[in-house]
Structure 1
Amino acid sequence: MNDTLRSPSRQQIFPPMDREAELDRLSLKLRNASGVGMQVLSLLGSQADGLLDMLPTSVRSGLEKATAAALEQSFNAAAASRGGRLGDGSDWLTRAITIGTGAAGGFGGLPSAMAELPVTTTIILRAIQSIADEHGFDPAKPEVRAACLRVFAAAGPLDGDDDLDLSFLTLRMTVTGASIKSLISKIAPRLAIPLGQKLAAQSVPVLGAAAGAATNYAFTSYYQDVARVQFGLLRLAEQTGESPESLTADLKRRLA
């Protein structure tokens, strides 16, 4: 890893890792990431594809734009929150907070769920930045912040597709304002689908608040796991001298 990307709080050298054992560990984490999401679908008695059909046409057509707006707001807000008095919380604390925002968003149906969207996205992105720091990367660096953002390019927790697309792991880290907008434009269409599923779950009559809490828990734990896979892979690339693309290809073979 380039020294300029190191986190000031993580200057120590990480102990050497066994390449094969680490790839096995990361593949297992990625495979299990959607487990909670499948439980949420069981709670709702629905299929992931069916959730999107529950949304009004106007909402479905505006999902990509709303997702891009949420990502743009969150990109700066998450970083700013880490610079203040609010320290990094544990995984469970972050999940507890998003459970609360999800319940509040689902309580008022679709309008409140739409308003809650950028708030929860910011909280999750801030947690991803904390995981970057945990792996020795400095979340204040634009390149690392971009890497945090691209975690959202992974399939959502309600996807349930065994043929995982790992192309998000090899998206290049970008640094300029224009390239961040370009990165968001690439991520938004992919993230719009799982966020649409989340909004639909929160709009379920009577179950809205409970579904909002459950889906937010699933989303938060899922993206935390995906972030640990991505930054674990980058740290392994530093130690072995291999490219992330090569390690990703090996990871995909294990998933297959």
Structure 2
Amino acid sequence: MMDWKSEDDAALKTAITLLESPTITAKIANLVGTPLDSLLSKLPEGAQEKINETVKTALQKAADAALWSLENAPNTKASTLMHKVMAGASGAMGGAFGLPALAVELPISTTIMLRSIADIARSEGFDLHDWETKQWCIEVFALGGPNDADDATKSSYYAARGFMAQTATILSKQFADIAAKNMAAKNLSGLALSPGQAGSWLAALIERIAARFGIVITGKFAAQAMPIIGGFTGAGLNVMFTDFYQDMARGHFIVKRLEMIHGEEDIQKKYEEMRKAV
């Protein structure tokens, strides 16, 4: 490992605190005062499938709107508060009108969240024109979900990273003509991707992450659909979601930045050592 500085130590501690916080599903249950399983049991038959399809569409629309439109100015300070306010406004609509509004509200709120994630990536010094940065932004939606910490020997963050590595392996087989160049490194750096190839890669990535993010959104929708909750908690849930994924993004891109300096294996080892010492 290169010289480990005090600021690296502080940054990694911050990342661990953010990334190992309670899952978003636990936060939903705490906010509404009802276990998630109880909320899900009240959903109508077929709701999960409809929500999953809506989530996939929302992520695809969000990627087009957020990742391609934000100004590419690395190290610009992130506007986290503005994105929370915008997300809260869109959530009030979804909470008030329920399932029919989900197809309208979710692409809006997801775009706001993804734009905020990209904003944070930019503030950590990442180039938004880099396809790998775009991939990492989308991957944030795979963080902090249920079942990430079932193995007590592994952090919830690296459990999710394992899912993403598995996804990269599967996609590399599907994109063998691209992967042959340097997918052994499990990233898109240096690949000669045409816009069409990169777009197809991200679309395939979104499809797999949508299945994971869909579980979280189903819990969120079930909470919003409660008659006694209404639009207020719809707004509150969206603010909570945006805050949560902003934290996930900040932690994720701190780790990625440190990995670029010190190497992925060394940072994972350091992360686990520091996590267990807390």
Give the shorter-chain TM-score range.
0.7 to 0.9
**1:141-170 Cα deviation digits (max 9, x unpaired):** 2221111001111133x8896852524446
> TM-score, normalising length from structure 1?
0.80
Correspondence for 2:70: 82
Question: In the alignment, which of 180, 188, 200 is matched to residue 178 of structure 1?
Answer: 200
**1:165-200 Cα deviation digits (max 9, x unpaired):** 524446444462222122112211110100111111
**1:106-131 Cα deviation digits (max 9, x unpaired):** 11122113320111011100001111
Map residues 206-217 of structure 1 onto 2, 5 A cutoff: 206-217=228-239
Check whether the contact 1:147–1:173 (CA below 8 A) recurs between aligned residues: no
Kindly provide the amino acid, as one letter, of the partner of residue 79 in structure 1.
L
Question: In the alignment, which of 246, 249, 253 is matched to residue 231 of structure 1?
Answer: 253
Supply the distance in 2 between the matched residues of 1:182 and 1:248 (Cα, whole angstroms): 27
Supply the distance in 2 between the matched residues of 1:193 and 1:252 (Cα, whole angstroms): 27
Correspondence for 1:41: 29
Sequence identity (%): 30
Supply the distance in 2 between the matched residues of 1:206 and 1:247 (Cα, whole angstroms): 46
**1:181-232 Cα deviation digits (max 9, x unpaired):** 2211221111010011111111111312122112111110111111111110
Map residues 119-130 of structure 1 onto 2, 5 A cutoff: 119-130=108-119
2:139 paired with 1:131: no
Check whether the contact 1:159–1:194 (CA below 8 A) recurs between aligned residues: no
Question: In the alignment, which of 184, 199, 203 is matched to residue 225 of structure 2?
Answer: 203
Supply the distance in 2 between the matched residues of 1:236 and 1:30 (Cα, whole angstroms): 15
Secondary structure in 2 aligned to 1:95? helix
Check whether the contact 1:27–1:255 (CA below 8 A) recurs between aligned residues: yes
5+ long unaligned stretches in structure 1: 1-15
Map residues 49-128 of structure 1 onto 2, 5 A cutoff: 49-83=37-71, 90-128=79-117
2:177 paired with 1:189: no
Supply the distance in 1 between the matched residues of 2:232 and 2:51 (Cα, whole angstroms): 22
Kindly provide the amino acid, as one letter, of the partner of residue 208 in structure 1.
G
Kindly provide the amino acid, as one letter, of the partner of residue 248 in structure 1.
Q
Supply the distance in 2 between the matched residues of 1:19 and 1:25 (Cα, whole angstroms): 10
Supply the distance in 2 between the matched residues of 1:198 and 1:97 (Cα, whole angstroms): 18
> TM-score, normalising length from structure 2?
0.74
Secondary structure in 2 aligned to 1:140? coil
Secondary structure in 2 aligned to 1:62? helix
**1:46-103 Cα deviation digits (max 9, x unpaired):** 112322222222211233222211111111111244259xx98621111111111101
Which of the two has higher C-alpha Rg?
A: 2
2:278 paired with 1:251: no
Secondary structure in 2 aligned to 1:46? coil
Aligned length: 236
Kindly provide the amino acid, as one letter, of the partner of residue 46 in structure 2.
S
Q: Which moved more, 1:25-34 or 1:70-79?
A: 25-34
Q: Which moved more, 1:19-28 or 1:170-179?
A: 170-179
Check whether the contact 2:28–2:219 (CA below 8 A) recurs between aligned residues: no
CA RMSD in angstroms, aligned pairs only: 2.9
> Deviation of residue 38 (structure 1)?
4.8
Question: In the alignment, which of 95, 110, 134 is matched to residue 145 of structure 1?
Answer: 134
